[in-house]
Amino acid sequence: MNIETPRAVVRSPVAPLFDEPRISSVQISQLLAGHPVELLEERDGWCCVQGADRYEGWMHRGYLEANRDASAHTRLSLGCAVTRDGGRRALPLGAYLAHDDHVVAGETIDVADQAHHFPLDAAAITRTARRYFEGTSYQWGGVTPWGADCSGLAQTTFALHGVQLPRDAWQQASAGVPGDDDPLAAREGDLLFFSDRADRHITHVAVSLGHCAIVHLALGRGGFGIEQLDDRSDSYVRRLVERFACARRVL
């Protein structure tokens, strides 16, 4: 007999996903308002959940709302502020609006128009990364322009264009097909992967802009950065190129 896994919907603008069921644990990712999760386990108010990317972690029950139909969401935030029941809150890029949210600032689109607004082509994807994440600070486990890590930028950007990538950089390195062995030859929209470990385990991902350039979120830059990989005068870029591991083509 098939038993359907219990589901819930994220109620907070940004809900942290933790490595362990305690508030002092490491944040490993985030899920956004209106996004559904599967409830895999519950302990003392903490839920082990799994989102659309199949990534598992612990989230406190306070961030979740049961018995709500996620498919009823018709508006997607591109960064906005809404009011509901006399209260105001900000919603980040990628969150869904509730039916009784009233937009008072920022931008939203109809979910039905998402594919038109975010077409599936490399130039559109790199425009999204540059437009929405410019100025973003580096935050481990973050997935929004309010704070994100390298794989969070890649995952959120591609998801807006209809491509679901895994959450972590090392997992994303198995997506698509192999790209060029030379990072300077990467096509626009390719994913470039880097490692600063002796075992070459992937620790960083960037999105190629073509013409030897990348966009990424890097701890070494404090956040958002656009790098010209053929700029040998920049010591940070030289070290980054030396740590290049592989490229993947997902488009």
The residues annotated as belonging to the active site are 150, 204, 216
Pairwise CA distance, residues 102 & 6, whole Å: 30
**226, 232, 236, 237 alpha-carbon torsion, rounded to 10°:** 40
- Cβ-contact 14, 22 below 8 angstroms: no
List, as one string, the DSSP characters of 114-173: HHHHS-SSHHHHHHHHHHHHTTPBB-TT-EETTEE-HHHHHHHHHHHTT----SSHHHHT
Q: What is the DSSP letter of 96?
A: B
- Cβ-contact 90, 13 below 8 angstroms: yes
CB-based burial, 173-210: b 16+ in 10 Å, e otherwise: bebbeebeeebeebebbbbbbbbeeeeeebbbbbbbbe
Six token digits for residue 172: 């994303």
